[in-house]
Structure 1
Amino acid sequence: MKIFRSLEHPRFRHYFFGQTISVIGFWLQSIAQAWLVYRLTDSAVMLGLVTFASFIPMLVAAPFAGLVTDRVDRRTMVLVTQTAQMLQAFALAALTLGGWVEPHHVVWLALVQGLANTFDGPARHSLLPVMVGGTRDLHNAIALNSLVMNLGRFAGPAIAGVLLVWMGEGWCFVLNGVSYLAVIASLARLPSNRAERPTQSLFREFSEGFVWVWTNLPARLVMINLVLVSFCAPNYQTMMPVFAREVFAGDALLQGLLVSCAGAGALAGTMMLAARSSTAGIARVINVGSLAAGIGLTVFSLSPSLALAAVALTAVGFGVIVTGAGTNTLLQSLVAERLRGRVISLYMMAFLGTMPVGGFVVGWLTEQFGPQPSLAAYGLVSIASALLLWRRQPAIAAALATGTGRSGDSTGQGDGAGQADGTGQGDGTGQGDGTGQAGAAGKDRDRGSNPHGGHG
């Protein structure tokens, strides 16, 4: 099975390379922004506040963003949000290069970027089936989309560390703004993708995504795990300037290199996911990722040496991306097309929206108890979540095997996405996946499903 088979689709190939450039730019800004704030304030709390501002819109507005995604032209929505983020980067660059930047400017602009990203994420992820011509290669496209993010995470921080020493923060922001042009150009090639005309009340449509996740056992369990792991494990990034300067006596270059270690682990995780031929056993893969993230974070926080810290961060990066991308894959393989935007928005709220709260809390804990015990506590929470999910693996497997985790709607029609675990069902195109039966052209075989979308 080819790891890069989704690149055979021209639309996805253009997006893949454009997004790779854009994500490198994003990481240039992310590393430079954190260093700028810590240089201006010497405050771990301010680092947490900027992270909070960047991601709190995802926590507050994600359900509404998902509802909008399922009602408007998704391509237009993504073009608008990408342009907004480009302008935000140029505004921060102008303030920094002009010598006018203050911490509150960074906070407010981080909030703007976070709000744009809240609406961008569900719409862009909902376009993946359009880019690959259906659901047959969707799980591979999701993995390669994560690969794009982590190519940027691997290369961007290291480049940022060099550019920070050489050119300063402002030019990193300029380069990020320019990088958005690449992904905007790739998305402009896509056809219009207007959602179906709404047939229900606004409130019912708003609540449907929540109902689907809560009544679908596999979705509910992996989402609870995702909330706990995402609250804790990714916040090594928030505290990285503190660890680089105070714990390991380094500078911006060391900060960038350490984040790149996590990026290398994430890159390995996405390659592993992309190499999978189906979604079989994905819930167990999510579990392994969560455990790796927790153990890695605990070891990193207490590491007596820089070498051990680098290895531990590699495990954290691997674990976080496997947990996040694996959960995305499971959800997208289960959900009906008409609910896709809303469910993806809830996924993004869990994966990215909890990070700001965790970042703010760990900033406060660091001021009180120091960075090492604070991150160690976060690592232990992630480990506990992984162990609890492991106990429920038999229930998840049973739900998927009996079809109670399948997608559908009140009419009994599925989205043709196939069986979640990929152990015997096709992809809904009439083609099998080589492991069992062919799909049924979108007809849901499990007509005894839950009436609220048929999701067990």
Structure 2
Amino acid sequence: MTGMLRGFGMLWFGQTISFVGSALTGFVLGVWVYQSTGSATQFAIISLAAVLPGIVFAPFAGVLADRRDRRTTMLVADLAAGLVTAGVATLLWTDHLTVWHIYLATALTAVFNTAHITAFYAMMPLLVPREGLGRANGLMQMTQAGQIAAPLLAGALVGTIGLRGVILIDLCTMAVGVALLIAARLDRAATAAPAAGKQITLRQDLGYGWQLLRGKPGLFQLAVLFGGFNFLFALAGVLVQPLILSFGSAATLGVLMFAGGAGLFVGSLVMSAWGGPKRRVRGIIGFLAWGAVALFLHGMYPSAWLIAVVAPLFLFTLPILNGSVMTVIQTKVPTESLGRVVATTRMIGQSATPVAYLVAGPLADRIAEPALAPGGALAGSVGTVIGTGPGRGIAALFWLIGAAMLLVAAVAAARPRLRRLEVELADADAAADADADSEPAGGGVEEDLPEKDLPEKDLPEKGSSHHATQPA
């Protein structure tokens, strides 16, 4: 067991180093696009290219994670991402780099990263004891915190070693990640494709994670809750910078973004040391309410000191929420189905992000800001509390986002299947399920049926409060 934990540690460290290097390159390439074009729209397309391809590819990543050796999947994804970065470096060195190259490279990297992270999450229950999954997921969230901090480092590096130097650092960090992935001593059973050889069509395979979640109402509601939270989080993430700039300078923005990142990092440390709440679903709902209050407070007053307190308080909750959701999924889903379910859950969660990106700007510019301008429609009501003028419409949106998140938490608390998920749905035994046949007889997957029409093995037995753990 110690060897397996050491193997997880090597994989996690290599992934973290590599992902931070990729974040450095992503940041400086975005700056390059903006400086080359002067277009905020073309700059924004990079964010879309970094999200959408991963969402579209997620079902395929889930199939790969369950049907192919997981270490091999991660290795191929890392090498492919390295080739993309090397291609960008070559174009840059030969003065042939253009904006569309950046879009393509960003999209391809998003696809390869999705394949890597899905396989890693699916392999974790076989590398880490079940009681340690919460702490392991805390470490995974620390990787995300490192990526958010990368722009600070990238800004300093660009001024000293330039864009070419940053890309070279990225290539070096990728090499470290690949080397550690190859060197890690992992049991063959932990990396082997658990669902290889199952007779099932590609179409059924791609929809398998969705069908399994639909057959387990508590898990499906958890995935939808995850998606709702991500939508509100993305809205706040888009709007917080213009909110700060409405009353502060660019230097103030940098300091406050660093403070928020510190909250995220501390939350990751706490999650990795604590492992999350014992009753995870209740903890998720509680931290949602905490985050809602913190978001609401963003709009109270145009003060850098206020944001310096409430932004870290909000971002502190993020690693605990994300880590707890992933731990529940890993605990309740058999390992041979885990890649597809993880991919589907992440797809549901991330699909809300592009929508938030698209609606946040028009909502602020065309509705909220005019309404809270002096003499605006809400100047005599809401404006008497939070003030009027630039940024006050965005502040009002933070009130609405906070209230919506609190409503999401309340609705989640009122859903008995979600609230009792950890009691009603028994834990999946990773070791046993690796050898179990979770596919239906004949190799198919049931169509999208309501729970009452699912096979008897997926319904609770009479007199029992537990569901069977085999997938629908």
Structure 1 length-normalised TM: 0.77
CA deviation digits over 1:111-161, x for unaligned, max 9? 1111112222211212223433x534223222222223324434x232123
Following superposition, the deviation at residue 407 of structure 1 comes to 4.4
| Residue pair 1:266, 1:322 contacting (<8 A) in 2 also | no
CA, structure 1 residues 25+257, in 2 after alignment: closer, same or farther (shift >3 Å)? farther
Question: Does the aligned pair in 2 maintain the 1:20–1:151 contact within 8 Å?
Answer: yes
SS, match of residue 249 in structure 2: coil
Give SS of 2:250's match. Answer: coil
- The corresponding residue for 1:321 is 319
CA 1:374 to 1:30, structure 2 compared with 1: closer, same or farther past 3 Å?
A: farther
Distance 1:398 1:145, change over 3 A: closer
Aligned to 1:440: none
Match of 1:361 in 2: 359
- 1:70 aligned partner: 66
Equivalent residue runs for 1:139-288 within 5 Å: 139-154=134-149, 156-190=150-184, 191=186, 193-195=191-193, 196-202=195-201, 203-234=203-234, 248-250=248-250, 257-276=255-274, 280-288=278-286
C-alpha separation in 2, matches of 1:243 and 1:95: 37
| 1:21-80 CA-partner distances (Å, limit 9, x unpaired) | 223223323432343344344444334321111110222221122112111111111111
The answer to whether residue 389 in structure 2 is matched with residue 389 in structure 1 is no
Question: Are the aligned partners of 1:70 and 1:339 in contact in 2 as well (CA < 8 Å)?
Answer: yes
Q: Which residue of 2 aligns with 1:453?
A: 470
C-alpha contact (below 8 Å) 1:18/1:183 kept by paired residues: yes
Q: Give the distance between the partners of 2:15 and 2:280, measured in 1 at CA.
A: 25
Cα separation, partners in 2 of 1:149 and 1:74, compared to 1, 3 Å: same
Q: Which residue number in structure 2 is paired with residue 115 of structure 1?
A: 111
- Compared CA separation, residues 207 and 406, structure 1 to 2 (3 A): farther
Against the structure 1 CA distance between its residues 255 and 47, is the aligned structure 2 distance closer, same or farther, given a 3 Å change threshold? farther
Moved more, 264-273 or 385-394: 385-394
C-alpha distance in structure 1 between counterparts of 2:70 and 2:51, whole Å = 21
1: CA distance between counterparts of 2:214 and 2:306? Answer: 40
Amino acid at match of 1:197: A
| TM-score normalized by the length of structure 2 | 0.75
Report sequence identity in percent. Answer: 21
**Distance 1:15-1:118 versus aligned 2 partners, 3 A rule:** closer
Say if 1:23 and 1:205 are closer, same or farther in 2 by CA, change over 3 A: closer
**TM superposition shift of 1:339:** 1.0
Structure 2 counterpart of 1:283, one-letter code: V
Aligned to 1:427: none
CA distance in 2, matches of 1:245, 1:7: 50
Q: Aligned in 2, Cα 1:296/1:452: closer, same or farther, shift over 3 Å?
A: same
Q: Does the aligned pair in 2 maintain the 1:362–1:374 contact within 8 Å?
A: no
Instruction: Give the partner amino acid of 1:180.
Output: M
Report the Cα offset of residue 94 of structure 1. Answer: 4.5
Q: Which residue of 2 aligns with 1:50?
A: 46
- Residue of structure 1 equivalent to 2:35: 39
Is the 1:59–1:352 contact (alpha carbons within 8 Å) kept by the matching residues of 2? yes
Stretches of structure 1 lacking an aligned partner (at least 5 in a row): 417-443
C-alpha separation in 2, matches of 1:278 and 1:197: 33
- How far did 1:286 drift? 1.8
Counterpart contact for 1:269–1:318, Cα < 8 Å = yes
Structure 2 segments unaligned to the other structure (5+ residues): 370-389, 436-457
What's the CA shift string for 1:167-223, capped at 9, x where partnerless? 444433332232112221111134452213343422443333112222323322221
Alignment CA distance shift 1:47-1:95 (3 Å): same
- Matches of 2:138 and 2:250, distance apart in 1: 34
Q: Deviations over 1:208-240 (max 9, x none)?
A: 311222232332222112112212314666567
Q: 1:206 to 1:24 in 2, by over 3 A?
A: closer
Higher CA-based Rg: 2
Offset at residue 322 of structure 1 (A): 2.4
SS of the equivalent of 2:420 reads helix
Give the structure 2 partner of residue 343 of structure 1: 341
* Equivalent pairs, count: 417
Q: Residues 72 and 160 (structure 1 numbering): CA distance in 2 closer, same or farther, change over 3 Å?
A: same
Q: Deviations over 1:75-125 (max 9, x none)?
A: 111111112222333434444566554433322221111111222221121
Contact 1:230 1:320 (C-alpha < 8 Å) held by counterparts: no
326-335 or 378-387: which moved more?
A: 378-387
Contact 2:138 2:275 in 1 (8 A): no
Contact 1:121 1:348 in 2 (8 A): no
Tell me the equivalent position of 1:424.
none
Residues 351 and 302 of structure 1, relative CA distance in 2, 3 Å threshold: farther
Any idea what SS the aligned residue of 1:46 has?
helix
